[in-house]
Amino acid sequence: MPDTSFMDDVIFPVTISWGSMGGPDWLVDIVELGSGHEERNTSRSQPTRIYDAKYGVRTHDELHKILSLYHVAMGPTRGFRLLDWTDYKSCPPQQQHAADDQVLGTGDGAATVFLLNKVYAVGAHSHTRRIQKPFEVLVAVDGTPIGTGFTVDMALGKVAFDAAPGVGEVLTWGGKHHVPARFNGKLDQVAVRGPIGDIPAILLKELLVKEVP
């Protein structure tokens, strides 16, 4: 059943998201002990990305685009795609993405569907992020890019091969992706000042999308 609370064909205006501020926020409980030491704990495996897009609004037309999307989305009711210009590729944003950027999986002769994931690494430490809203995907098998024999579910972030990859075949991917997001505040203090409109804040929050079998 389609998720009517998410508009998968709607993208937050990219010219406005270009000037946005924000990024990942980890929900962490920090308890400072009497000794001065800390106990830190998080119950989540992923952060939530928070943005303020007001810095990207430079014209009245851009302000109108925000108001139009706010109405269509019914405020925070419905989600949409957002391009995070600081982190939207399978590689660093200033580099050219390639089909061997990220590991997709290893063939076992039976599985045909693989999930898109992106790994952040520092030394021996790493964090895996699920990519559920891609919009451009390249695939390679054992280092060789392929253009046929598979389909990509851009709404769920899955790659389905027509035939199961052989045992031991290394599958990789590269591409670009959006962040599923929603409005996270009211637009009730809109003002017109000089040549451009003004909104005190255009708060956006990442949606953690449930996996669909």
Instruction: Walk along the chain (213 residues) in steps of 10 and give the mean pLDDT of each run.
Output: 79 90 93 93 93 84 90 96 97 97 98 98 97 98 98 97 98 99 85 64 91 74
User: What is the per-residue pLDDT for 60?
Assistant: 81
pTM higher than the cut 0.75: yes
User: What is the per-residue pLDDT for 152?
Assistant: 98
In the beta sheet, which residues pair with residue 49? 24
d(Cα 15, Cα 87) in Å, to the nearest integer?
Answer: 16
User: What is the per-residue pLDDT for 62?
Assistant: 85
User: What is the per-residue pLDDT for 75?
Assistant: 95
DSSP notation for 17-69: HTT-EEEEE---EEEE-TTS-EEEE-S-SS-EEEEEGGGG--SHHHHHHHHHH
In contact, 182 and 153? CB cutoff 8 Å? no
Q: Which residues contact 134 (CB under 8 A, 6 or more apart)?
A: 116, 152, 154, 157, 175, 176, 177, 178
User: What is the per-residue pLDDT for 165?
Assistant: 98
In contact, 141 and 169? CB cutoff 8 Å? yes
User: What is the per-residue pLDDT for 1?
Assistant: 42
Q: Which residues contact 8 (CB under 8 A, 6 or more apart)?
A: 81, 133, 154, 155
In contact, 202 and 208? CB cutoff 8 Å? no
